[in-house]
A and B are shown apart, each in its own frame.
Chain A
Amino acid sequence: MPINLYIFLALALFSIGVIGVLTRRNAIIIFMCIELMLNAVNLLLVAFSKMHLADSMAAGAAPTLTNGVDAQLFVFFIMVVAAAEVTVGLAIIVMMYRNIHSVDVNFLNRLKN
């Protein structure tokens, strides 16, 4: 498949995530949009990994097993970190809900002072 299609798909997903962050007030939805953006990046990384493989094959070199492995391992680590992030983030949101009985980020304007 043309790499451009993957790029545009990833960009579209990412931008939808951005739009979600900008238009929603619910902290959980915003959080989900961030996950969406992370996944857009993951998709792009995997696509580039395969593009790299295609590159080395087109160059005539015998495809070694390691071509493009790095990118996919990056995706793996991103998922690891995302999982950790989600646990802590959700814990914080639960805390916030306990304190102010809302998940509306507009209540969190303490940054002002």
Chain B
Amino acid sequence: MNNIIDYVWLVPLFPLVGFLLNGLLRNYLSKSLSGIIGSGVILASFVVSILLFMQVKGGSTGVVTLFNFIEFGKTSIPFAFQVDQLSSLFLLIITGIGFLIHLYSTAYMHEETAPHFARYFAYLNLFVFSMLLLVLGSNYVIMFIGWEGVGLCSYLLIGYWFKNIEYTGAAKKAFVMNRIGDAGFLLAVFYLLSKLGTVGYADVFSKVDQLSGQDLTIITLLLFVGATGKSAQIPLYTWLPDAMAGPTPVSALIHAATMVTAGIYMIARSNILYTLAPVTQTVVAVIGIATALLAASIALKQNDIKKVLAYSTVSQLGYMFLALGVGAYTGAVFHVMTHAFFKALLFLGAGSVIHAMHHEQDIRNMGGLKKYLPTTHITFLIACFAIAGIIPFSGFFSKDEILAAAFANNPVYYVLGAIGALMTAFYMFRLYSMTFQGSFRGTHEQEHHLHESPAAMTIPLVILAIFSFAGGLVGIPEVLMHGGHQLNEFLAPVFAESTRRMTPHTIDHTLELILMFGLMAVILVIIIFAWKKFSSYQKTDAEETGLGKVLQNKWYVDELYEAVITKPVNAFGKGLEKLDRFGIDWVVNGVGRSVQYASRQFRLLQSGQVGSYILLMVLGMILLFVLQVFLKK
């Protein structure tokens, strides 16, 4: 094997094989076997990904064309995989964290029957396959295949327990929201095709100067619409919290390794386009920061352990878009990476808690779990520190990089981002304290059954905890350590063109240090406050009032959508239904009825009288002869 890059197709092939095996043989596989298949294929992909990463780190990148996918006119769209710094990094995240989640799932889903167990792994494998396709594709069309694939798989997995009507509703919501975004993406691809006649990354980016500023703005905005759907930004974020309906490892997969990072990846991949479209950049940054704040504020008052985490994901994604908007592409990718570690850890930890609590998700009924779930407790705490941004946990470095870039771009972004970071610290430690500290508030039966999760669940937790702790060390900022930002150097080739064209914003090193540690000090204060406040939390029946109630009800966004979009659309649909039933149906039925009537009349010709038949026959012959004689001439 001289060049591993030529074998890149192995990476998505393994999950596809796993999907086919688990999907087709689900009625014949035992649970352990489908678990081994499901996890094994991802592990295989992970191994290949590591080899690829090594190769890329050595400096070789490449595009591997498998076959010609679509060919029309002068345009041909190859089915090709692009291996470079960005995609190899994402491969590691997807397959690595994906594997841990698969491993975890084998224990978490053990209550399911074998066929459903295999179905679960089939979906999971397909999910990973789609995501790998998305990341590996060397043009927007291949990316779109994966883009649609993850949308489909999220639908399948969120609605995994399809007997529950609410869950299927959540699945539908996710699918519809995604479709809205996908439409934007698709339009952008068509626009690119019409303007440049190509969709390959390399071609597009080299021809980028042929596009007018207006074209660039339109394309990037449309792509961003796609990203808001996939990556849960305002206004299409509402599906993500509802996506909690799926099994918890699925939430971890969606939130950490796949799906939501697709939008970030896509924009990071198209960084040149965005760099040249300042209007879009502003839009992206504003939407990102707005989403970050909105989601963080909602998370303050949620009581469902998974809902809190879901809104925190939305909020963190907001940060990533802020980073993209201010041109800190490396920062965004860095945050994707660290976020993948600690958010996967948080979700898997939450899954462990839920597992122990027998599917209790309300944190008001938890408390004091650190006694019963020591491993989960420690790892969860690490994750909380990481997401809150305490040095030297991974979240600190990535978040700091984003905020520094934001400050350099516009101090207002920084202030808002800092407020969001404070809220993040608050709700995370509210969640942590209410879950693990204080005294147990659940029923005695639940308390009796509390137990630490099996090794298959705790091992991924520990591994992820290590990465959550140390994962940020690949991107130590310049002010703390010269040459510490290895990730920046690694990704530099991908963003080189953007860096060249961007007006550099620099920030004074002293100021950066002040901001960095000043913010961390405030965060620490908040953490201590939240810890103290919620460790002694007691259940009350008091209703939330004022702002608290608004926050608890998620700013009434769902209700707003219901009133502004769903209801009018439904009414419109009802109107169309009436038109269909009384207009179109009437015409269609009328045709049928008139044919029936006519045939009832014509039937009378069939008198059964031989004489009349002969008469008609003779008339027919006469007609034929007349035609022959008079029309032929």
Q: Is the CB of A113 within 8 A of B611?
A: no
Q: Could you tell me the distance between the alpha carbons of A105 and B610 in the complex, rounded to whole angstroms?
A: 7
Q: Is the CB of A22 within 8 A of B608?
A: no
Identify A108's interface contact among B610, B615, B618, CB under 8 A. Answer: B610
Q: Could you tell me the distance between the alpha carbons of A113 and B608 in the complex, rounded to whole angstroms?
A: 8
Q: Could you tell me the distance between the alpha carbons of A22 and B610 in the complex, rounded to whole angstroms?
A: 10
Q: What distance in Å separates the Cβ of A8 from its nearest Cβ neighbour in chain B? A: 15
Q: Is the CB of A109 within 8 A of B607?
A: yes
Known contacts A105-B611, A108-B610, A109-B609; 12 additional CB pairs below 8 A are A18-B618, A22-B611, A22-B618, A105-B609, A106-B611, A109-B608, A111-B606, A111-B608, A111-B613, A112-B606, A112-B607, A112-B608
Q: Does A110 contact B (CB under 8 A)?
A: yes
Q: How large is the interface on A (under 10, 10 to 19, 20 to 34, 35 or more residues)?
A: 10 to 19
Q: Which residues of A contact B608 (CB under 8 A)?
A: 109-113
Q: Does A21 contact B (CB under 8 A)?
A: yes
Q: Which residues of B contact A109 (CB under 8 A)?
A: 607-610
Q: Which residues of A contact B606 (CB under 8 A)?
A: 111-112
Q: Does B1 contact A (CB under 8 A)?
A: no
Q: Could you tell me the distance between the alpha carbons of A18 and B617 in the complex, rounded to whole angstroms?
A: 11
Q: Could you tell me the distance between the alpha carbons of A109 and B611 in the complex, rounded to whole angstroms?
A: 10
Q: What distance in Å separates the Cβ of A110 from its nearest Cβ neighbour in chain B? A: 7
Q: What distance in Å separates the Cβ of B437 from its nearest Cβ neighbour in chain A? A: 89
Q: Which residues of A contact B618 (CB under 8 A)?
A: 18, 22
Identify B609's interface contact among A18, A21, A106, A113, CB under 8 A. Answer: A106
Residues 8 to 35 of chain A near chain B (Cβ within 8 Å): 18, 21-22, 25
Q: Does B588 contact A (CB under 8 A)?
A: no
Q: Could you tell me the distance between the alpha carbons of A112 and B614 in the complex, rounded to whole angstroms?
A: 14
Residue of B nearest to A109 (CB): B608
Give the number of chain B interface residues (Cβ < 8 Å): 10
Residue of A nearest to B603 (CB): A112
Q: Which 3 A-B pairs have the closest CB atoms?
A: A112-B608, A109-B608, A111-B608
Q: Which residues of A contact B613 (CB under 8 A)?
A: 111
Q: Which residues of B contact A21 (CB under 8 A)?
A: 614
Q: Could you tell me the distance between the alpha carbons of A25 and B612 in the complex, rounded to whole angstroms?
A: 11
Q: What distance in Å separates the Cβ of B148 from its nearest Cβ neighbour in chain A? A: 58
Q: Which residues of A contact B614 (CB under 8 A)?
A: 21-22
Residue of B nearest to A15 (CB): B618
Residues 56 to 113 of chain A near chain B (Cβ within 8 Å): 105-106, 108-113
Q: Which residues of A contact B610 (CB under 8 A)?
A: 105, 108-109, 111
Q: Could you tell me the distance between the alpha carbons of A109 and B615 in the complex, rounded to whole angstroms?
A: 15
Q: Which residues of B contact A108 (CB under 8 A)?
A: 610
Q: Could you tell me the distance between the alpha carbons of A112 and B611 in the complex, rounded to whole angstroms?
A: 13
Q: Which residues of A contact B615 (CB under 8 A)?
A: 22
Q: Which residues of B contact A106 (CB under 8 A)?
A: 609, 611
Q: Could you tell me the distance between the alpha carbons of A110 and B607 in the complex, rounded to whole angstroms?
A: 9
Residue of B nearest to A111 (CB): B608
Q: What distance in Å separates the Cβ of A107 from its nearest Cβ neighbour in chain B? A: 10
Interface code B610-633, partner A: CB below 8 Å = 1, 0 otherwise?
110111001000000000000000
Q: Which residues of B contact A25 (CB under 8 A)?
A: 611
Interface code B570-611, partner A: CB below 8 Å = 1, 0 otherwise?
000000000000000000000000000000000000111111
Residue of B nearest to A19 (CB): B618
Q: Could you tell me the distance between the alpha carbons of A108 and B610 in the complex, rounded to whole angstroms?
A: 7
Q: Could you tell me the distance between the alpha carbons of A92 and B611 in the complex, rounded to whole angstroms?
A: 18
Residues 82 to 115 of chain B near chain A (Cβ within 8 Å): none
Q: Which residues of B contact A113 (CB under 8 A)?
A: 608
Q: What distance in Å separates the Cβ of B495 from its nearest Cβ neighbour in chain A? A: 85
Q: What distance in Å separates the Cβ of A45 from its nearest Cβ neighbour in chain B? A: 20
Residue of A nearest to B613 (CB): A111
Q: Could you tell me the distance between the alpha carbons of A105 and B613 in the complex, rounded to whole angstroms?
A: 12
Please name 18 pairs of A and B residues whose Cβ atoms are closer than 8 Å in the assembled complex, sorted by A.
A18-B618, A21-B614, A22-B611, A22-B614, A22-B615, A22-B618, A105-B609, A105-B610, A106-B609, A106-B611, A109-B608, A109-B609, A110-B608, A111-B606, A111-B608, A111-B610, A112-B606, A113-B608
Q: Could you tell me the distance between the alpha carbons of A110 and B609 in the complex, rounded to whole angstroms?
A: 8
Q: Could you tell me the distance between the alpha carbons of A113 and B609 in the complex, rounded to whole angstroms?
A: 11
Q: Which residues of B contact A110 (CB under 8 A)?
A: 608
